């Protein structure tokens, strides 16, 4: 079986990528290599399976997409790193909670390298710095495989977060790397966070490619 494939996809519209994740998961078999997709999205609110309309306070001109991950509403936009994990949980002997912990710990370790203390919360998945959310996450599991993943706010326009109750929490503060003194390029954040995530998932090797053509 081929090693994990990491795809660097750049800026991508949300809905086509979501449907490609669904299709990839539907089509894969026991020998399909796992993949991680690194990308950014144009402005979009995504509403999870448990999402309540009242948590969208004012969508303005930003589209709202109702999707199949867990959780409530969140925002994606330029300057936010999105990491989608398309993994065969059964083959890797991983539970959903283990993947969530791996995602959170990868972000926490990355921030620790920048001398930033961050924590996860059992009651609200994600990563927090001084009570403000810097990374959101959500997964969908089908046929023993997962997709969706995490987002990490790097250097973005944070205004749209004021138009929602992020992840369903009223008055939840949201922050980003830029605002806590971490001024790294998106490419550097991608590379460093990927390193921590690969370690957390105990992956031995991977191939890095641009786009969907290896």
Q: Which two tokens stand for residue 121?
A: 């919360």
167 is catalytic: yes
CA–CA separation, 69 vs 46, rounded Å?
9
In terms of Cβ atoms closer than 10 Å to its own Cβ (0-12, 13-18, 19+), residue 97 is exposed
Phi, psi of 187 (to 5 degrees): -60, -40
**Cβ–Cβ under 8 Å, residues 193 and 104:** no
**Cβ–Cβ under 8 Å, residues 115 and 125:** no
**Cβ–Cβ under 8 Å, residues 206 and 5:** yes
Q: Where are the alpha helices (DSSP H) in 93-209?
A: 96-113, 186-200
How far, in Å, are 18, 37, 120 from residue 6 at the CA level?
17, 6, 25
Token pair 């053509």 is at which residue?
Answer: 213
CA–CA separation, 195 vs 106, rounded Å?
8
Residues classed as catalytic: 167
């Amino acid at each position: 079986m081929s090693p994990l494939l990491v795809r660097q996809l750049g800026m991508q519209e949300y809905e086509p990528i979501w449907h490609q994740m669904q299709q990839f998961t539907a089509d894969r078999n026991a020998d399909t290599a796992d993949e991680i997709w690194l990308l950014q999205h144009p402005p979009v609110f995504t509403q999870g399976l448990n999402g309540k309309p009242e948590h969208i306070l004012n969508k303005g001109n930003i589209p709202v997409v109702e999707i199949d991950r867990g959780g409530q509403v969140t925002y994606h936009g330029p300057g936010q790193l999105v990491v989608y994990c398309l993994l065969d949980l059964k083959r890797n002997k991983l539970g959903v909670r283990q993947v969530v912990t791996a995602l959170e710990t990868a972000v926490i370790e990355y921030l620790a390298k920048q001398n930033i203390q961050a924590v996860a919360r059992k009651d609200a998945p994600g990563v927090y710095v001084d009570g403000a959310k810097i990374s959101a996450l959500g997964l969908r599991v089908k046929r023993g495989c997962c997709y969706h993943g995490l987002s990490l706010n790097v250097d973005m326009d944070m205004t749209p977060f004021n138009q929602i109750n992020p992840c369903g929490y009223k008055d939840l503060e949201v922050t980003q790397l830029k605002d806590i003194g971490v001024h790294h390029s998106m490419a550097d954040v991608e590379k460093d966070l990927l390193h921590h995530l690969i370690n957390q998932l105990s992956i031995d090797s991977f191939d890095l490619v641009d786009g969907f053509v290896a």
